[in-house]
Amino acid sequence: MKIVCVAGARPNFVKIGPIVAEFRKAPDFFDITLVHTGQHYDQAMSGAFFDELGIPSPDVHLEVGSASHALQTAEIMKRFEPVLLERRPDFVLVVGDVNSTIACALTAAKLGIGVIHVEAGLRSFDREMPEEVNRVLTDHISDLLFVTEESGRRNLIHEGIAEERIHFVGNVMIDSLHRQMEAAAQSRVLERFGLAPGQYGLITLHRPSNVDEPEVFRGILEALRKISEELPLLFPMHPRTRNNVKVWQMDGFFARNGGEVGVQATEPLGYVDFLQLMRHARMVFTDSGGIQEETTVLGVPCMTLRLNTERPCTVEMGTNRIVGVCPEDIVAAAGEVLAGKGRTGGLPPLWDGKAAERIIEILKAEPQRHREHRKND
């Protein structure tokens, strides 16, 4: 079975890593090509993840870089099409919900090539999120849909997707987490930032709805600065966020040379250091999707600074709380955790580090049937 696997942006790398590793265990069965679209390109946003997660160098690099949504999506499609025409795979496998995901899925679907979507069915029901548009469209042109949680299956069935094309396999992002736990334990990152286990908070923010809106962003930073008076906070900053801090001259929210009250900002960190920081944090503030899942598995209280989540099982079963973006609510939620009232939770079903194995077993089992779906629908 000839499969072209696609990765483009930081969260994609964490998801594609375990899948490619499993494919490589069955070279007689799978002929794999790994394509990097180049949506993320900095060493900190891309190269570091390939190195740490042991992902082989991409066979093809499309080098698209940053641009508006339309330009970036179009450019990926334009550069991806000749790769498919040359390789003629049976399937293109895409992960997650970034622009690279929809661009490559659509290119394949238009050429009559099967599409496999890993992490299908998640829905925030908020079409203002660019990722929500990517998710819905990708799912509807996919032939095989692998879901991470029960809500994914429900959403897809509700949208009219045939049940036999949906497979509940668990979460490949958690496969990566399991694989890197030991490496994380060796990390010296807490010492590097002068942090003690359980006595700091960790922040990530990069959603346009939070960091591209100066008033919302300012309110969140005010809340975080207030919390940092009681709990040291570390903020590894996404380039989009860093750019906006500069443009809107928000440096005053951050501690300058350590020691001072304030939020400690730093460059984006690699996977292993970030995992170690999450694992020992008293709480995590985030607007990321994947971090809601990782904190659930690590049992660390997660404050999601958004109005919704496409990953409801992290709230229903895990440690996640949808706090919103109102400064008073953020401060109050952190106060509850500091008072020992943080959420505890359990592990969602099949988040056991074996999701990629299940995907590969399903692909091996009935390759012919997967192809037939396409013709019959």
Beta bridge partners of 34: 5
* Distance in angstroms (rounded) separating the CA atoms of residues 228 and 336: 15
Take residue 352 and report the two structure tokens written for it.
């056991």
Other Cβ atoms within 10 Å of 31 Cβ, number: 14
Binding mask 15-54 for ligand UD1 (x = CB under 6 A): ------------------------xxxx--xx--------
Site for ligand UD1 in 98-127 (CB under 6 A): 98-99
Binding mask 224-263 for ligand UD1 (x = CB under 6 A): --------------xxx--x--------------------
Helices (H), the chain: 10-24, 48-53, 69-87, 99-110, 130-140, 150-158, 172-185, 189-192, 208-211, 214-227, 239-247, 271-280, 290-298, 313-316, 327-338, 355-365, 367-376
Exactly one of 31, 51, 130, 226 binds ligand UD1 (CB under 6 A); that residue is 130
Residues designated catalytic = 206
Our CB check for ligand UD1 shows the closer of 273 and 357 to be 273
324 is an interface residue for ligand UD1 by CB under 6 A: no
* Distance in angstroms (rounded) separating the CA atoms of residues 170 and 292: 15
Our CB check for ligand UD1 shows the closer of 199 and 243 to be 243
Site size for ligand UD1 (CB under 6 A): 20
Q: Tell the smallest beta-carbon distance from residue 119 to ligand UD1 (Å).
A: 12
143 is an interface residue for ligand UD1 by CB under 6 A: no
- DSSP tag of 267: P
* Distance in angstroms (rounded) separating the CA atoms of residues 364 and 53: 24
Place of tokens 């928000």: 250
328 is an interface residue for ligand UD1 by CB under 6 A: no
Site for ligand UD1 in 332-361 (CB under 6 A): none
Residues that bind ligand UD1 (CB under 6 A): 9-11, 39-42, 45-46, 66, 97-99, 130-131, 206, 238-240, 243
